[in-house]
A = this chain, B = another copy of it.
Amino acid sequence: MTAPMRNRQIVYAKRPVGEPDLGCFDLVEGDIGRPGPGQALIRNDYVSVDPYIRMRMEAKDSYAPVMKIGEIMVGRTVGQVVESNIPDFKTGDWVVGRLGWQDYSIAAAADLQKIDINAAPPTAYLGSLGSTGITAWVGLMHFGQPKAGETVVVSAASGAVGSVVGQLARRRGCRAVGIAGGKAKCAIVTREFGFDACVDYKSPDFASELAAAVPKGIDVYFDNVAGPILDTVLPLLNNFARVPLCGLVSQYNATEPYRIANYREVFNRRVTIRGFVLSDHRDLWPAATEELAAAYAAGQLKYRETITDGLENAPQAFIDMLRGGNIGKQLVRIRT
Contacts and interface: CB of A to CB of B under 8 A. Distances in A.
Interface stretch (A19-27, A34-42, A150-158, A264-272): A264-272
A251 B267 CA distance: 12
Contacts of A268: 61-63, 275
Contact of A261 (B63, B259, B266, B271): B259
A62 to B, nearest CB: 5
B226 A270 contact: no
B264 A248 contact: yes
Nearest to A143: B272
By secondary structure, the A interface counts as loop
A145 interface: no
Query: Which range contains the number of A residues in contact with the other chain?
Result: 20 to 34
A245 B257 contact: no
A276 interface: yes
Interface string A272-311: 1111110010000000000000000000000000000000
A247 interface: yes
A260 interface: yes
A226 B275 contact: no
A263 B257 CA distance: 9
Contacts of A230: 263
A262 interface: yes
A261 to B, nearest CB: 5
Nearest to A245: B267
Nearest to A235: B60
Given A270-B276, A277-B270, A226 B264 contact: yes
Contacts of A61: 268
Contacts of A266: 245, 273, 275
Interface string A228-256: 00100000000000000101100100000
A263 B226 contact: yes
A237 B247 CA distance: 18
15 contacts: A63-B267, A226-B267, A247-B267, A248-B263, A257-B262, A257-B263, A259-B260, A259-B261, A266-B275, A267-B275, A270-B276, A271-B274, A272-B272, A272-B273, A272-B274
Given A267-B277, A270-B274, 7 more contacts: A62-B268, A257-B262, A257-B263, A260-B263, A269-B275, A272-B274, A273-B274
